Structure 1
């Protein structure tokens, strides 16, 4: 019976990575007794033109969250990298307090940022980057990819060399629209509990930038944080340790 009381984990992934990158971590979370879902975002690897941006990604997350919440689930959004932008906007109206006030059951009880972007309302990812793509980002028309020569060290630096090479090849494009679309919502300023998991050897989103963004959580209720000594993709390199950090910020075992 205890397992049924554990929150459901909904993963809001970042750019470029296919769902398979999360398979092992999802299995680790499931073994710990949580239901766990990965949302496939339309902006990642999309083929229908024009490529879609934030609005469609938000709708994809809300579709998953609404179905679970209507079933009575208490949900934790685990947002990685650019998924922080998507998750922040997707939680609007889907937090448990808002739903309960409308007589609905279930909802999001906490949003957790894993080396993720927390953007003030009105700011886009590209704004946060100073209006210029990072050196390892390749903008080609309507899509953005990672430089294949740099991705192993940027995204997978704490994996063995063969795994770095493998995962650097298992990436796709992200719609440039996602980087241009401004955020519309700040969960931390709207009563929604938040947490940040810092990844200390992250070469894609360095620790000091994570820490600067995470300070915004102090504006909201019950801010929490945890730290793991991993690169940008701790779900690949140290899934068990990442699970421990997740437990730390959401409570329970």
Structure 2
């Protein structure tokens, strides 16, 4: 029976390009976890009409198709808006579903890291009510208000670092916030976990807790004292938590094989 470490597939959030997650991906690789960050076409897109949630979902599903085709076990790590993408993308790729079909490999756990957990048919705007104060919508693009990002997204980083990462942010397609989610992994037998970030000013801790409560009566959770981007502010502690999460996922996978 395989004891290999799972492959970590990172689904990034809105406004932050995949490149912003690469340093953390390299850290995970150094710890023995094959890792890749899937670039979402809705972030930083230049061709019109801008691509949205369906195209983001396809991008992640392409990566999963390639990995599970080789029989690999995957931990899907979803950050912020990436929680919606990951939820939609994992349908049919979880380990349990593939085992029933006589196939090997699959997603052993979907992990939400300060990420949005919304029901099938709901949109992020349904949850927000209105665009948030730090969201600037112009035409088909939605940008984060740069002057507010040091406090909203990078509040646990030194000033210079916060400014640097803020300058590296791009726009997202506004349509992603109004597009309904298509799947609920937690309601379909897919093991899920939530990583709380207690000092997050983008997705407040209380909101994270409310969303995580959908994952079941006793969901797998971990808590970090961090802002919205622990992969930037406390990468070592986050990597440790990812290791623990992977252990839980592998244990659940072992139960599935019996």
1:250 CA drift (Å): 2.2
Report 1:125-136 matches (<5 A). 125-130=124-129, 132-136=130-134
Match of 2:179 in 1: 181
Aligned length: 248
- Output one character per residue of 1:68-111: Cα deviation in whole Å (capped at 9) or x when no partner: 00111100000000000000000001111112222222110100
1:216 CA drift (Å): 0.8
Which structure 1 residue ranges, 5 or more long, are not aligned? none
2:226 to 224, 227, 230: 230
Report the Cα distance in structure 2 between the residues aligned to 1:48 and 1:105, rounded to whole angstroms: 38
**Contact between 2:18 and 2:40, CA under 8 Å: does it hold in 1?**
no
Match of 2:70 in 1: 71
Report 1:1-253 matches (<5 A). 5-130=4-129, 132-218=130-216, 223-251=219-247
**Contact between 2:22 and 2:37, CA under 8 Å: does it hold in 1?**
no
Report the Cα distance in structure 2 between the residues aligned to 1:245 and 1:8, rounded to whole angstroms: 15
TM-score when scaled to structure 2? 0.93
SS at match of 1:249: helix
1:247 CA drift (Å): 1.8
Report the Cα distance in structure 2 between the residues aligned to 1:223 and 1:212, rounded to whole angstroms: 12
1:234 CA drift (Å): 0.5
TM-score when scaled to structure 1? 0.95
Which structure 2 residue ranges, 5 or more long, are not aligned? 251-258
SS at match of 1:10: strand
